[in-house]
Amino acid sequence: MSESSDKEHAAPGWLKKSDMAASLGISVQAFDKWGVKPIKKIGRNVYFDVRSVVDNRIENAIQKHQPTDPQDMDADQLDYQRWRLTKEQADKAERENKIADRHQVPTEFATFALTRIAAKISSLLDTIPLTMRRRYPELQTKHIEGFQRELVTASNEAAAMGDLLPELLDEYIDSASK
């Protein structure tokens, strides 16, 4: 087809890709990157109108200002990194609020508290044989020593409670997730 027959079929206001790019002051390659949908293809020529270019640019501007789904982002994208940071800050604030409201405690505190409680229990258990000897002098030494052996075992178990917390936490998480 000749150039003149193409123009006969092109509607007024339609421009070839190169003419549209020139009228916008950009290169043809830049215009191609915009992804504007052509109005018509006649022979080897592709035609665009101003309305489709304006619609494309408006849609592009709207998309720039819309939040992006983090699942669609690459890890290197700045928006994704901002989203991750914002989410982590929100999660941290939520955890801190739950701790402040006493609905949750950090594992480190629970370990500390259990260790202190276990130490108190252990020291109380150590005093039982002496108390029993004072209150009941008629008990024989073998009975007191039997008490003492059992209480030492219980005292050692109580003292080890703080060390068991991580293991108990893992067990709890495993049972809760089933």
The 3-class SS string of 86-119 reads HHHHHHHHHHHHHHHCCCCCCHHHHHHHHHHHHH
**pTM of the shown model:** 0.42
- Mean per-residue pLDDT of the chain: 83
Comparison of pLDDT for 161 and 12, the residue scoring more: 12
pLDDT at 1: 45
The 15-16 sheet, strands edge to edge:
15-16, 45-48, 40-42
Compute the distance between CA of residue 54 and CA of residue 36 in angstroms, rounded to an integer.
Answer: 9
pLDDT per residue over 13-69, tens digit each? Answer: 899 888 899 999 999 899 999 999 999 888 888 899 999 999 999 988 888 777 666
Q: Binning pLDDT at 50, 70 and 90, where does residue 117 land?
A: confident
* Extents of the domains making up the chain: 3-64, 70-100, 107-176
pLDDT at 99: 83
Asked if 24 contacts 31 with a C-beta cutoff of 8 angstroms, the reply is yes
151: alpha, beta or left? (left if phi > 0; alpha if psi -120 to 50): alpha
pLDDT at 74: 66
Compute the distance between CA of residue 42 and CA of residue 45 in angstroms, rounded to an integer.
Answer: 5
pLDDT at 176: 77
pLDDT per residue over 81-113, tens digit each? Answer: 888 899 999 999 999 998 888 888 888 888 888
Nearest residue to 52 (alpha-carbon basis) of 113, 11, 90: 11
Q: Is domain 3-64 annotated with CATH 1.10.3470?
A: no
For residue 2, pLDDT beyond 50:
no
Token digits for 70? Answer: 């983090």
pLDDT per residue over 132-154, tens digit each? Answer: 888 988 989 898 888 889 888 88
Compute the distance between CA of residue 153 and CA of residue 131 in angstroms, rounded to an integer.
Answer: 18
The three-state (H, E, C) secondary structure of 60-72, written as one string? HHHHHCCCCCHHH
CA 46 centroid distance within chain: 47
Asked if 29 contacts 18 with a C-beta cutoff of 8 angstroms, the reply is no
Per-residue CA distances from 39 to 20, 33, 52, 147 (Å): 12, 17, 8, 97
pLDDT at 169: 79
